[in-house]
Every structure is written in C-alpha cells, then in structure tokens.
Amino acid sequence: MLKFWNSGLRLIIVFSADKLFFKMKNFILLQELYTKIILFIIIVTSTSVITYFYRQFAVKRGIIAKISSRSLHDKIIPRGGGIVFGFLFPVLIFGLWLLNAYPTWLMLSVGLGGFAAALIGFVDDIYEITALKKLLLHFCISLYFFIIFFSFHPFPVPIATNFFLFVIMAGVWLFTPIWSINTLNFIDGIDGLAISASIFASITIIIVLALTGGDMVLILTFSLLAATCLGFAFFNMPSASIFMGDSGSIFLGYVVGCSVLITVYLEQVSMWTWITTLSYFFADTITTNISRIFLVKKWYGVHRSHAYQNIARIIKSHAKVTYGILLYCFLWSMPLAIWSALEPKWASVAAIFAITPAVVFSLRYGPRLSSE
C-alpha cells in the first residue's frame, strides 16, 4: 500500500514538474515574441521619425522631384527618401554583426553592399548621373556582391571545373541584381507601389522560411527590411509626401536581387517561389518592355506606359491602383507562393497561375493603351 502511494506521489510530482516546465517555456517564448514585436515597432518608428526630418531637409536643399510630361504627380515633392531606410537597414545589420549575432559574409554582401547601392542612388537623386554611368555603377556593386559571396562560399563542383558553366553562372549572378534594380525602378512610378512591393515580398518570404524551417538569420534580415520599409511607407503611400528616389529603388533592387540569389543558392527558397512571390512585378516589367519593342520606335527611352501607370492616369487615382495591386498580391500571389514552397512538385504550376493574370493585365492596359 505504501509503495502504491509513493508511486502515485512520484507521478504527481513528475506531472506537476512537467506542467510547470511547459508553462515556463511558454512564458519565455511569449517574452521573446513581445521583445521582437517591441523592437520591430521601435525600428518602424525610428524610420518614420528620420523620414520626417529628412523630408524637411530635402525641401530646404531643393532635393525635389521635377514635374514633367512623363511624371504622374502635379506638385513639388521631395525625393531621395530611400536613403533613410537604405542607411538604417545596414546600420542595424552592422550593429548585429558587432554583437556577433550576424554572419560576416551577409553583413558585407547585403549590409555594406546595400549601403553602397543607396549611396549611389542618393548621389543620382542630387546630381542626376547619366544612364551609362549608372549602369556601370550597378555593375560594380553587382560584381562586389559576386566576389564577396563566393569568397565565403564554394562554387558548385560542376561549375568550378568547367569554364563554360562558370561564365554562364557568373553572368546570371552579375545580371540578376542589375535586372532587379531596374525592375524596382520601373515599378516606382506611382505613390507607394515600390515600397509596398518590398514589404509584401519580405513578409511572404518570412512566412515561407518560417513554414519550411528556414534559416533564422535570413528571417531576421527580411524582418529588418520589412520594418525599415514600413516606417518609410507611412510617408510614401498615396498621397505621397516624399519619394524614395533612386536611393530607394537602387537599394531595394540590390537587396532583393541579392536575396534571391542567396536564398536559392542556400536552398532556402526556390526560384519558382520567388517568381510566384514577385509575379505581378516580373510580369509588368517584362511584358511592358517586350510590348514596347514592337509598338514604340524608341522603346528604350524613359516612359510612363506601364499598365499600372495608365490605369492611375485614367482613373486619376494612385491610391486605388496601389492598394488594388497590393490586395492582388496578398490574396493571390502570397497563397500561391506558400503553396509552391510547401508543395515543391507543384511550384512551377503555382508560378504559372500567379504570373498569367498579371501578364494579361499588362498586355491589356500597358503600352497599347498609352499615347507614347
């Protein structure tokens, strides 16, 4: 009888200890979650405050967007605001690196490289660098990323032993950030579209990485990008009181382009998932450029014939177009991107489903609807 009571007492103690441990574990997890949320809010708020003061500085210094026949705004608005998140994002990464909480290769490639991209864009916002010089500078930061990344990571064996394959791979790695920079520049044609696209892409990839057991450092990187972009978005969404300028589009294009290459190389996110995530923006830029080759003599010139620009001009509303595209991305592209990550065998199908409506929309309302 005594043995029975001792066994029962032991079971009660073990059960109570397990219950207490479970509660403590949940409490610690909740504390960590609250801490992360508070830090996120602090970063968002800091970006907003710095943006507010930068806007005043830009007006005083005459860093403003010029009104022309190719622009879709009719009032003087300060530009170059992208330098705010283009500076704060690398600073946060550098701070984490100093605390030994961030890898050196990622700090150098995305942090330092991102700051260089933002700086190039900011100089362009002030002095308006020629197109050829800009392209050369884009190539330089793309080459910098390629050198830094493969200084810390080995080349795949088939590529390292085959010169032809190496040239092809190097071409893809050098071209991707440049193409991404131009894509972000193309979609920065109405209030809030480029910044909201970056926030959407960051959130989607965070969810994908979280659901697939992805690298926590990459989740942290996209969280920092989302937080700094969100702080700026309060001033850039319709009707915008400041433009990100080239300092923002070059920075975001560089970071997104490098992130695609990094996550695909490390097998964290597939190329199909990235295509699905950014499907609207890929479809818009590619379809518009191809259409212009056939419809416009000087197809390579500056223009405002993207479908979203034409619709914004016709209905005279940036807000409806920006929020409409954002709604499409969250309700259509995001679920498909998550599906493609969780079911890799269907990833290509998800990409086709995601990109087809955007291609149709761009063909219908793109250059054909423009007077250019």
232-290 pLDDT, tens digit each: 999 999 989 999 999 999 999 999 999 999 999 999 999 999 999 999 999 998 898 88
The pLDDT, as a whole number, for residue 297 is 58
pLDDT score, position 5:
47
Query: Each residue of 57-70: pLDDT tens digit?
Result: 999 999 998 766 55
Identify the pLDDT of residue 51.
97
Check pLDDT > 60 for residue 331: yes
Three-class SS state of 102: coil
Say if CB 334 and CB 277 are below 8 A apart.
yes
pLDDT, one tens digit per residue, over 8-46 is: 545 454 445 455 445 555 556 567 777 888 999 999 999
Is 196 within 8 Å of 280 (Cβ atoms)? no
* Segment 101-129 mean pLDDT: 96
Is the model more confident about 367 or about 338?
Answer: 338
49: pLDDT strictly greater than 50 = yes
The domain locations on the chain are: 23-265, 270-372
As a whole-number percent, the residues of the chain with pLDDT over 90 amount to 68
State whether the Cα torsion 158-164-165-167 is positive or negative.
positive
| CA nearest to 80, candidates 59, 104, 106 | 59
The residue among 221, 222, 182, 181 whose CA lies nearest residue 205 is 222
User: pLDDT at residue 300 above 90?
Assistant: no
- Residues 179-193: what's their mean pLDDT? 91
To the nearest whole number, what is the mean pLDDT of the chain?
88
Does this model's pTM top 0.85? My answer is: yes
User: What pLDDT does 303 receive?
Assistant: 67
Instruction: Give the dihedral sign, CA 52/57/60/65.
Output: negative
Range name among 34-48, 100-114, 286-300 with the lowest pLDDT average: 286-300
348 residue type, one letter: S
